[in-house]
Structure 1
Amino acid sequence: MAKPIHLDGTTLEGGGQLFRLALSLSSLTSTPIKVTDIRGKRGTKPGQDGGIKPAHLAGAMWLAGATNAGTTGLELRSRNMVFSPSTAETISDVIWKEVYRSEQVAKGVINIAISTPGSVFLILQSILPFLIFAGSSIVSGSDELPSSLRLNIEGGTNVWHSLSYEYADQVLFPMLCKKLGLGPITMRLNRRGWSLGRPSIGKIELEITPLPAGEVLPTFEYTDRGKITSFRISILGHDPQIRLGTRKMAFQKLERLFPDTEIEVLVDESSDHPSRLYLLIVAESENGFRLGRDWLYDQKVNKQRPMKTVELLVNKVINDLQQEISHGGCVEEWLQDQLVVFQALADGRSSVDGGNPSLHTQTARWVAEEILNVKFNASGHCKGIGFRAPAAKGPTAEKLAEDVARQLVLE
């Protein structure tokens, strides 16, 4: 067995992204990795703790099962881990064995749940590249079996310092599917899960279309953004007056800063708790690129002067978005780092114009360079390895039905 590639978990951003991306690329390419001091920069302040948390563990455990990986240290709060997946030639056979041996029989359904409001999108970040690039090993596209995967994840949908459901729905997936050329990805909110107020567990349901067996992701360019033509606003809050004030102030500021643009409210919804207040504003350009900035308000709501809270919320989100628009790029910092894995795996040279790379983006690029031996330049260009989706080697529908019947008899 090849010696694992060692990744220091304190490198650059030093958080969970390094760990998640390393697992994704390791699983896809059958490259053993060793990650030390996992989330090492997340344990330096009061109330913080490094190591593997529930959302990280859930994604890692699924990937370990899907690739029949040998692991050490893959447990809650662990700071060091070795992950050694099976070779690429056997992965598809393993997936069939592991997925269809459980309750996910013959339906292409994957269920992942955590008992805390840890972000469902942290789990998704770990496994989405694997499902897109190797998911054809789970589904065959035949009449008997589905051509897409259904993924149900339980956890937090609106969580501090994580992608929100609204951002994923309005920015991430549209930019992956419409501008990157991936197959359809649809998402439905079953119920919200919050880290603020009264902690609650939510659930999202996704349908993901993987790359067909034997195919590669073509090279792509996120360049030539064009003029900003519209803004879409999403507001979640307990107090109707605060939501109304947020709406009015956001309209006024956007109309003043960006005259002659369309402004629309997509979401105006109760958050069911006075401590939960959230605002997302998405800008869309004439060439179909989307930039979004948001804030899950993490300060105490001023009950005596609620409009002061509104002012803080609206000013921060619009100022952040205005800075992203001013650099002229096609993506903002939250999306820029999400595209690194696709650049590294695509077939050919891809370009992403997103202004100066964030620390998260720099970290993601470093991980891809270490594991895949690709190179990113200062302008965000990268020549990917042309990863080819493995051929489906799973059992026939008839054989699968026999196995299911046998399991039912045994049970």
Structure 2
Amino acid sequence: MIEVDGSFGEGGGQILRTLLTFSALTGTPFRLNNIRGNRPKPGLQRSHLSAVNAVASVCDASVKGNVLGSRTLEFRPSRIKEPLKLVIDVGTAGSATLILQSLIPLMIGRKITVTIKGGTDVPKSPTSDYMSCVFMGIMERVGIKGEIGVVRRGYYPRGGGEVIASDFRGGGEFSILRMGDVKKVVVMSHVTWLPVEIAKREAKAASEELSNFPVEVKIKEEKGTGKGTATLVYLEGESVIGADSLGAIGKRAEEVGKEAASHVLSDYRTGGAVDSFMGDMLMVYASLFGGEYKGSSLTCHAKTNAQVIKMFGVDLEINGVSPFTVKVRRPLVSGIN
């Protein structure tokens, strides 16, 4: 059994999510102590508990400590089940996309459909548009296809959104080291139960930041269980680099658009081939299939993710900081549960 202190590195939910994924994939049990030890409110919150219970359902795990507020978790996986239709109701605005991060690697090549009810566009997590456009764009370059659909949006604090993920398949050794020439730039702004003019202002501000590129603007009026808005900006070349920004009370629409565009440009200018968010997410897939990539900035999340992944015997090498490269020479493909 692997024993982990949950206060190391970024000391948050990323440690738990990565442990769950690799435990289920390899059949390796773990015990996590001091869960989210570096957070103001440590222990399992609803979104983390939902991730634990979801992965446990997929791999028929025996679990101890899966209660709200728990600071210790013991997880003993069995075989991954299929066919399976899993419905997860977080009950709050807990991030549906972060829960998907733990589940998608388990779904590849299996008849598993997941429906998650919770927050689709909430702070400190990728938005559903980021997952559909940027994450899936990178997955295509890994040889993975799949579907991520938004039934309705859910925002903080109410939640109530719904995302469905299914039909994930493929995957193989990959090399994503160059962004190359930018062939496409998209600004995607949406509103739910707010004036569409807000989305147009966000998109205009983002486009002005991206004045050196021809920009394709997409404005959407969405369904959801509360008011909200967000902007996603992404650049597409040999790879995809993106960033999003959420609206908030007192935050001007122009600030939302400018924030997303500025973050994308900052990552792009490092010479990396993937953005700072994908820099840690892609590490999982390099570990599964073998591969290499160049990230824009080595974040604390990415460094922590690497440490957790190495606990499962993955030969993972990181060089540099901004940009940085990741190379996996001994992937898990032959050792997947």
Normalising to structure 1: TM-score of the pair? 0.74
Report the CA distance shift for 1:270/1:186 in structure 2 as closer, same or farther (over 3 A): closer
2:280 maps to 1:330: no
Shift of 1:390: 6.6
Q: For the residues of structure 2 that align with 1:314 and 1:78, how far apart are their CA atoms? A: 38
Which residue of 20, 26, 29 corresponds with 1:29? 26
Q: Deviations over 1:361-409 (max 9, x none)?
A: 1111110012224232213112233424879xxxxxxxxxxxxxxxxxx
Q: Deviations over 1:114-165 (max 9, x none)?
A: 2112111121111111122xx53xx4xxxxxxxxx32211111111111111
Which residue of 214, 223, 245 corresponds with 1:262? 214
Which residue of 31, 36, 39 corresponds with 1:39? 36
Report the CA distance shift for 1:8/1:218 in structure 2 as closer, same or farther (over 3 A): same
Higher-Rg structure is 1
Which residue of 74, 80, 83 corresponds with 2:72? 80
Which residue of 112, 116, 124 corresponds with 1:161? 124
Report the CA distance shift for 1:244/1:127 in structure 2 as closer, same or farther (over 3 A): closer
2:300 maps to 1:359: yes
Q: Deviations over 1:32-78 (max 9, x none)?
A: 111111111122xxxxx121122221221132233332322122111
Amino acid across the alignment from 1:265: V
2:163 maps to 1:204: yes
Structure 1 residue runs of 4 or more that deviate by more than 6 Å after TM superposition: 271-275
Aligned partners of 2:316 and 2:326 also within 8 Å? no
Shift of 1:275: 6.4
Amino acid across the alignment from 2:307: W
- Which consecutive unaligned segments of at least 5 residues does structure 1 have? 44-48, 97-106, 140-148, 212-216, 302-308, 392-411
Report the CA distance shift for 1:85/1:270 in structure 2 as closer, same or farther (over 3 A): closer
Report the CA distance shift for 1:272/1:240 in structure 2 as closer, same or farther (over 3 A): farther
2:312 maps to 1:371: yes
1:151 corresponding residue in structure 2: 114
Normalising to structure 2: TM-score of the pair? 0.90
2:241 maps to 1:291: yes
Aligned partners of 1:234 and 1:281 also within 8 Å? yes
2:167 maps to 1:226: no
Which residue of 273, 282, 285 corresponds with 1:342? 285
- C-alpha RMSD of the superposition: 2.3
Q: For the residues of structure 2 that align with 1:72 and 1:61, how far apart are their CA atoms? A: 11
Aligned partners of 2:205 and 2:258 also within 8 Å? no
Q: For the residues of structure 2 that align with 1:108 and 1:26, how far apart are their CA atoms? A: 19
Aligned partners of 1:72 and 1:82 also within 8 Å? yes
Which residue of 53, 57, 70 corresponds with 1:65? 57
Q: What pairs up with 1:122-201 in 2 under 5 angstroms?
A: 122-132=98-108, 136=110, 139=111, 149-176=112-139, 178-182=140-144, 184-196=145-157, 199-201=158-160
Report the CA distance shift for 1:68/1:188 in structure 2 as closer, same or farther (over 3 A): closer
Q: Deviations over 1:164-202 (max 9, x none)?
A: 1110111111211x20011x2112211111115xx1301
Q: Which has the higher helix share?
A: 1
Report the CA distance shift for 1:273/1:245 in structure 2 as closer, same or farther (over 3 A): farther
- Classify the secondary structure of the residue corresponding to 1:14: coil
Q: For the residues of structure 2 that align with 1:274 and 1:123, how far apart are their CA atoms? A: 21
Report the CA distance shift for 1:324/1:271 in structure 2 as closer, same or farther (over 3 A): farther
Q: Deviations over 1:82-126 (max 9, x none)?
A: 11223xxxx15xx25xxxxxxxxxx64222222112111121111
- Classify the secondary structure of the residue corresponding to 1:34: strand
Q: Which has the higher strand share?
A: 2
Shift of 1:233: 1.1
Amino acid across the alignment from 1:219: E
